[in-house]
Structure 1
Amino acid sequence: MFTRTESFKEFLRFYPIISIIIVIHIFLWILLALPFLGGGALLNQMVGYNVLITEGEYWRLITPIFVHASFTHMLFNSFSLVLFGPGLERMLGKTKFILIYLSTGVMANIATYILQHEQFRHVGSSGAIFGLFGLYLYMVLKRKDLINYANSQLIITILVIGLVMTFLNTNINIIGHLFGLIAGFLLAPIILGKRRRYL
């Protein structure tokens, strides 16, 4: 489930939504890293900045999902998506996968807006990725028919590590991580429905 054996072309064909999201990550990182293309100004328009959201710039609840603070930040989140996204994209289909990904990312950003101070700024897809973990956690706890024991143990282990790192690392949007996870768990029964496709 979490071991990738596909060729590059097969990955693009089997997981088009994940592939598109990663292309967006890379494209925006390159664009934002090049000052002569106006990257700094564009980044300022995409950052989740609470005070400007209050002033009506509501797109900032969505755009942070696709931009990152550094190359390593972008690479780590993209790599996480490559590892943990394909199983869900295959299980849910393209529409439901993008729905859970964007919904949990936006909910994490809304929670950040509500609970953080007005000068708080943030970027990154971690809230959406933790949303996927919330969906997995729901399967581990409530829908054991959808995931086998070995994968359940792996998910729990990685989730625990992810949560520990959330609190140990500096410059982490803790609220975004936690509420992305919660949102994924709460939306899981709606997204999963009565499906019986086993992971």
Structure 2
Amino acid sequence: MFIRNERSIKEFIQFYPVTGIIVIINLSLWLLINFLQLPFGQSIYQWGVGSNFFIENGQYWRLITPIFLHGDLIHVLFNSFALVLFGPALEQMIGKGKFIIAYLGAGVVGNIATFLLGPSSIIYTHLGASGSIYGLFGMYLYLIAFRKHLIDPGSRQIVMVFLLIGVVMTFLRPGINVHAHIFGLIGGFLLGTMLFSNASPYSPWRNRHHFRQRGEDEIGFDPNRWQKKRLSPSTKKKIIWTVVLLLFLIAWWNRT
């Protein structure tokens, strides 16, 4: 479920448009605010960053906008990578509309919990898609608990390892929005009970077949495609675990 087999970024966006657009928004806003440092970007940051003080004064859009804003480069890359890794399967299984509800809904639940349980000081701010990302984990947790036929054993192991490490780091590392992580996870789990009613198992070939039927597959038939060397299941698992390990080592090193 988590090995990407798309042949280009364009194809990835075609197959998983919601995931692709969210990643583009995350990276574009980070570049605009943190890299280019344009005055317009700083205005977006001031207007959208999470602030319990301003929410108390009626700026309720700040329950949503922090989901698309990030701090340093590792922050935005980590969340974007996690979304690319874990988002596509869910987007295909439940559909684009429900996936938007799941992603934003979990993030909003995490931000509401931050508003209710966090400090209301004007100097306290928060940002990041972590609540939404943990919401995706919550949905996978629902699959593991109640809809096991929709997720294969190898994918269950990957999800549980990511989830356990993430939860442990949530409580061990300073500067983490614990409320957003935990309640985003809970929100995703609860949303899963409503959004998986008509879901079908993920198939990496379903989207390609769909676009080919519509005549939108730009790459024609390859008579030698079955002769190409394919990775064995054990090799694929080694690649996944290597990426997972490197990702967490990088995230851990840059947060110390």
Q: TM-score range by the shorter chain?
A: over 0.9
1:138: Cα distance to partner? 0.5
Write the distance in 2 (CA, Å) between the matches of 1:12 and 1:29: 20
Aligned to 1:72: 74
What does the per-residue CA deviation read over 1:32-89, in whole Å, with 9 as the maximum and x for residues that have no partner?
1233333223211111100000000001000000000112111110010000101101
2:85 maps to a residue whose letter is L
Q: CA deviation at 1:164?
A: 1.2
Structural RMSD (CA): 1.2
1:93 alignment counterpart = 95
Rounded to whole Å, the distance in 2 between the matches of 1:140 and 1:114 is: 30
User: Paired residue for 1:134?
Assistant: 138
* 1:26 is aligned to 2:30: no
- Indicate the residue corresponding to 2:157 in structure 1: 153
Q: Could you tell me the TM-score, scaled by structure 1's length? A: 0.95
Where structure 2 has 5 or more consecutive residues not aligned to the other structure, the ranges are: 203-256
Counterparts in 2 of 1:35 and 1:150: CA distance versus 1, 3 Å: closer
Does 2:167 match 1:166?
A: no
- Of 111, 114, 122 in structure 1, the residue corresponding to residue 113 of structure 2 is 111
Q: Judge conservation of contact 2:32–2:38 (CA < 8 Å) in 1.
A: no
SS at match of 1:23: helix
State the structure with more CA Rg.
2
Match of 1:198 in 2: 201
Say which SS state the counterpart of residue 70 (structure 2) adopts. Answer: coil
Are 1:2 and 1:87, in contact at CA under 8 Å, matched by a contact in 2?
yes
SS at match of 2:38: helix
Q: Which residue of structure 1 aligns with residue 48 of structure 2?
A: 46
C-alpha distance in structure 2 between counterparts of 1:36 and 1:61, whole Å: 24
**Superposition TM-score, scaled by structure 2 size:** 0.75
Q: How many residues align?
A: 198
Aligned equivalent of 2:226: none
4+ runs of 1 displaced by more than 6 Å?
A: none
* Within-5 A mapping of 1:178-193: 178-193=182-197
What amino acid is aligned across from residue 198 of structure 1 in structure 2? P
User: How far off its partner does 1:194 sit?
Assistant: 4.1
- Paired with 2:40 and 2:130, the residues of 1 have a C-alpha distance of 25
Distance 1:90 1:103 in 2: 18
2:10 corresponds to which residue?
9
Gaps in structure 1 of 5+ consecutive residues: none
Q: Distance in 2 between matches of 1:44 and 1:192?
A: 37
Q: Which residue pairs with 1:59 in the alignment? A: 61
| Residues 142, 189 of structure 2: 8 Å contact kept | yes
Aligned-partner Cα distance in 2 for 1:127–1:47: 14
Distance 2:19 2:116 in 1: 29
Secondary structure at 1:38 match in 2: helix
What is the percent sequence identity of the aligned residues?
49
Secondary structure of residue in 1 paired with 2:159? helix
